[in-house]
Amino acid sequence: MFNEKTIIQKEAGTIKPDRIVINRAKEVFLLDYKTGLPNPKYKYQLENYQIAIEKMGFKVLKKALVYIGAKIDVVHL
């Protein structure tokens, strides 16, 4: 499990997913935490994280946005 590790991309600078969980089969569960209201740009951000991670030879099996506020809301993508 990795929290906020910087990934350097050859063509697009750096990204920093909030949490990446990797199993022995190189399969990934990707989480990103947000506050405030849901925004479509967050889904796009998570998709970009997935592309970068899969270019590194991993397979993203699950990804989710976790909205933290008065209540916690998990949006599986």
Tell me the pLDDT tens digit for each residue of 6-47: 787 777 788 889 999 999 999 999 999 999 888 999 999 999
Cα(33)–Cα(56) distance, integer angstroms: 22
Residue ranges per structural domain of the chain: 2-76
| pLDDT at res. 11 | 78
| pLDDT at res. 36 | 86
- The structural architecture, per CATH, of the domain 2-76 is 3-Layer(aba) Sandwich (3.40)
